[in-house]
């Protein structure tokens, strides 16, 4: 008798073939590796899962962003994640609002406030983004922050993240 799966987010039927069983176990390995911050093992599991026909990897874009790197915010790591999110935005039209929020947040975390505001100014006038209060909050806070930094004579393009938190 096999042990139950740790994570049940994969859609598997009541009858498990050996392949589905291995895929479910591999998904467990992926999730456990991510929770333990073992990114090397998580990347290997993700590389296998993304190639399986049973896995719709485009719907698991949040997991893919986590696999791309840890939560340290170096410039190269952030640019990889943002480029990946832009690709996902093109491939998943029904998730564009959520992905745009993630892009804006990643730009803010990387200290690229002007880039985040420019991105918002591009999308906010159009539907469905114009009805999203979170995007309007981001735009307002970024505008306020950038106006304060320009008054103080600080370059508003690239500022450290800890200044934004203060």
User: What is the tens place of the pLDDT at every residue in 14-32?
Assistant: 667 888 888 888 888 988 9
- Co-location of 144 and 84 in the same domain: yes
Expressed as residue numbers, the domain containing 61 is 18-68
Q: Which segment of 84-88, 123-127, 152-156 scores lowest on mean pLDDT? A: 152-156
- Co-location of 63 and 79 in the same domain: no
Q: Give the chain's length.
A: 166
- Co-location of 28 and 61 in the same domain: yes
- Co-location of 151 and 82 in the same domain: yes
- Co-location of 58 and 38 in the same domain: yes
Backbone angles phi, psi at 56, to 5 degrees: -95, 90
SS3 133: helix
**Distance between CA atoms of residues 23 and 124, nearest Å:** 40
> Last residue of a domain, which of 40, 68, 96?
68
Does residue 151 sit within a domain?
yes
**Distance between CA atoms of residues 157 and 150, nearest Å:** 10
- Token readout for 17 is 């073939």
- Co-location of 61 and 132 in the same domain: no
- Co-location of 79 and 156 in the same domain: yes
Residue 115 has a pLDDT of 92
Q: How many domains does the chain have?
A: 2
**Distance between CA atoms of residues 123 and 119, nearest Å:** 7
Residue 166 has a pLDDT of 44
- Token readout for 104 is 């804006």
CB atoms near residue 2 (< 10 Å): 8
Higher pLDDT, 148 or 13: 148
- Co-location of 47 and 102 in the same domain: no
Does residue 81 sit within a domain?
yes
DSSP conformational letter for 47: H
81 close to 69: Cβ distance less than 8 angstroms: yes
Q: Each residue of 44-100: pLDDT tens digit?
A: 998 888 888 888 877 788 888 788 766 555 566 677 888 888 888 888 888 888 889
- Co-location of 27 and 63 in the same domain: yes
- Co-location of 113 and 161 in the same domain: yes
């Amino acid at each position: 008798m096999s042990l139950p799966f740790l994570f049940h987010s994969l859609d598997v039927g009541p009858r498990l073939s050996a392949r589905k069983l291995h895929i479910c176990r591999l998904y467990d390995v992926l999730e456990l590796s991510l929770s333990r911050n073992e990114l090397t093992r998580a990347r290997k599991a993700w590389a296998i899962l993304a190639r399986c026909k049973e896995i719709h990897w485009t719907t698991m874009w949040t997991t893919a962003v986590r696999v791309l790197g840890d939560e340290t915010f170096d410039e190269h790591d952030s640019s990889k994640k943002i480029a990946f999110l832009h690709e996902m935005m093109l491939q998943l039209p029904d998730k564009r609002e959520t992905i745009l929020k993630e892009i804006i947040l990643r730009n803010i975390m990387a200290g690229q406030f002007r880039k985040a505001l420019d991105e918002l100014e591009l999308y906010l006038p159009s539907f469905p983004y114009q009805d999203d209060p979170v995007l309007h909050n981001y735009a307002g806070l970024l505008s306020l922050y950038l106006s304060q930094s320009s008054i103080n004579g600080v370059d508003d393009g690239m500022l450290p993240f800890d200044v934004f938190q203060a």
